[in-house]
Chain A
Amino acid sequence: MGIFEKIFRHHPPWGVHPDDHKLPAANAPLRSLPLPALLYVPMQQHVGSPARPVVLVGQHVLKGQLIAEAQGNVSAPVHAPTSGRISAIGEVTAPHPSGLAQLAITIAADGADTWCERLPVDDPFALAPEEIARRTAAAGVVGLGGATFPAAVKFNLGRRLKVNTLIVNGGECEPYLSSDDRIMRDRAAEVVDGLRIVMYAIGAREALVGIEDNKPQAIAAMRVAAAAFGNVQVRPVPARYPMGSDKQLIQTLTGKEVPADARAAEVGVLVHNVSTCAAVHRALRRGEPLVERIVTLNGGALTRPGNLLAPIGTPVVDLLRFAGVSGRPARLVLGGPMMGIVLPHARVPIVKGASGILAFDAAEAHVAEAGPCIRCGSCTRACPMGLLPLEMASRIGADDLAGAAGFGLSDCIGCGCCAYVCPSHIPLVQYFSYAKGELSARERSKLRNDATRRLAEERVARLEREAREKAAAAARRKAERDAAKAAAGAAARPLPVRIVKPASEAAT
């Protein structure tokens, strides 16, 4: 911790303060992307089960029409981002670190961008909270801050756990990104109306809007929009990464600490992102499902960085072209530089959770060679969750995942602070991602084993039952045959010698 911070105990003791690179993109006015010719809408844009297509190839759809329905309790439906013809239902490269393929619906836009019938609500506060949750779910609204958890599922959770405070996350602590900043500046009234609807839906009495103090225009705009509502407070918070993480924002705003392995709702608060609130506003007041979002285009390789309003499913290459690429970007990142994912190429569609596309030039993309750990302890000081990254990583390196879990691996939010400060440039977060994935894979295989064992046991039981039934049936048939024979024999020639025979037959 620097001497400066020791004197001015203004910053929280955790986290890092990277150069934020938000300007000039954040100040450029919001632009709309011209409608792309083809949109690739993935079926899994949210946490939970993928949506299931309900349209056929060749079918004509209108903007906002349901094209894939939610499956299971935690899932979200997907709607057509524009009007046009379904030209394919197949696999495209997913915006996922694996670069694997994923099911998507391809729409050839007809250019008219005709909406389907929308059902706006004049007064959402006259509806039952359950109805708001239902409409939010039907509009496919998911957490737009990056977590992409279905919003309505969280509403129901908040109502059940009697949440008192809604925290509205306008932190946007990731460097380079400014889509939340832009939505607060340009659509503050929508955000405030949306968050009031969310408050009503979860039964919260107050709302705290946390905005990092490096966004003065957003704070001013939100203050104006929220002035009429006494229970909505706009609170500037220190700009410090990862302020936008739920647990850190809750602690900064309310002083409450969310226990390990607990959900925020269990301490009486619920967090929703500002863009999610705006999407809820649109879903209710205008009856519009989530079909577009604001995407930050930023990075050294772009000539016109800024924020773009783009339909879901737009290929990244179209966005890059619009933002003007100079040369070949050295790296493409979806999301922020700290927690975002590296895209394999630009023919990947954007999804609901895509807050930004970063095109880095060679200098920005430079990754220093990793060296040996010098046990400086910087990672431990930076970790916002109070973990010991070096201890965890050394155990994971030695394949001792249980040991790493014992050091609180499951609490790691993957924020990347540790790797950011590490003077040896050790890819600490990748160790943690690997270990978390591996542990859940083992858990899955255990469940699978249990299931197959049950199947095998059931099969043995079935075979035994079948053998028993077969034997019983054979015995019955035999008895019947014998009885018939005996009866026939008795009728024909009632000789006592004959009676012995069935017994000897039965014995064989």
Chain B
Amino acid sequence: MWLAIFSLTLLGTLLGLALGLAAKRFHVEASSIVAEIEALMPGSNCGQCGFAGCPRAAAAIADGSAPVTVCPPGGKALAQMLAARLGISIDLTSVADEGPQIAIVAEDICIGCCRCSKVCPTDAIVGAAKQIHNVIREACTGCGNCIDRCPTEALLLQPLPVTVQHWVWPKPATVVIALAV
């Protein structure tokens, strides 16, 4: 019996030691990949992904508990970049991406209560008390935080208008080139 106790203790100790050493030896700089992913994220901590801010979401994406498609404001483009960084392949055709969106204020019903500008993570809403508020298009990430705050429903999310400057040629039907590989 002593032998059994002894051998099991020894086994436990050795394996524990080996595991501990391996953990040290093969320690991945986890924070570095998380930081890298975080750098790709929009960084506005809007919380639409369900995590408390971009750093948490980045950590979840890094350890695989969240898909790369988790961030709605990042859209397809972000998912693609993340997949490339993590070396995984994703099927983007299933990702619903209505394209980038921005908030707009219906100027005739804004009462200037200032509730929206307080919650915007990028300070994209300008306006003073009892004055019409407005969204700076370039700064809005379309996170939607402001939408529910408005007592008069003056805020709406709208797709970012496509302009001549931003338009991109559509991809040709893929049937042909698939055979060229």
Residues of A within 8 A of B (CB): 44, 94, 96-98, 100, 102, 370-373, 375, 390, 393-394, 396-399, 402, 424, 426-427, 430-431, 433-434, 437-438, 441-442, 444-445, 448-449, 451-453, 455-459, 462
Contacts and interface: CB of A to CB of B under 8 A. Distances in A.
B166 A441 contact: yes
A458 B92 CA distance: 33
Nearest to A397: B177
B52 interface: no
B21 interface: no
Nearest to B178: A397
A402 B84 contact: yes
Interface string B104-121: 000000000000000011
Given A98-B167, A459-B122, A398 B181 contact: yes
Contacts of A455: 44, 122-124, 139
B43 A44 contact: no
Ordered nearest first, which 10 A-B pairs have the shortest CB separation? A453-B43, A397-B177, A437-B168, A373-B180, A372-B179, A433-B169, A98-B167, A394-B180, A455-B122, A434-B169
Contacts of B124: 455
A33 B124 CA distance: 50
A138 B172 CA distance: 41
A325 B84 CA distance: 52
Interface residues of B, number: 39
Given A96-B167, A442-B81, A373 B176 contact: yes
Contacts of B168: 434, 437-438, 441
Contact of A426 (B169, B177, B181): B177
B172 A100 contact: no
Given A434-B170, A434-B172, A94 B164 contact: yes
Interface of B: 40-45, 77, 80-81, 84, 92, 100, 120-124, 138-139, 141, 162-174, 176-181
A455 B124 CA distance: 9
B172 to A, nearest CB: 5
Contacts of B77: 441-442, 445
Nearest to A436: B169
A367 B177 CA distance: 17
A147 to B, nearest CB: 17
29 contacts: A97-B167, A100-B164, A102-B164, A371-B176, A372-B176, A393-B180, A397-B176, A397-B178, A398-B178, A398-B181, A402-B84, A424-B176, A430-B169, A430-B172, A431-B172, A433-B169, A434-B170, A438-B171, A444-B166, A445-B77, A445-B100, A449-B40, A451-B139, A452-B122, A452-B139, A455-B44, A455-B124, A457-B43, A458-B123
Contacts of A102: 164
A373 B174 CA distance: 12
A453 B44 contact: yes
A44 B166 CA distance: 13
A456 B163 contact: no
A231 B138 CA distance: 51
Nearest to B167: A98
Contacts of B166: 441, 444
A456 B38 CA distance: 13
A459 B84 CA distance: 31
Given A98-B162, A372-B179, A441-B77, 16 more contacts: A100-B162, A371-B176, A393-B177, A398-B178, A402-B84, A424-B176, A431-B171, A433-B169, A442-B81, A452-B141, A453-B42, A455-B123, A456-B43, A456-B44, A459-B120, A462-B123
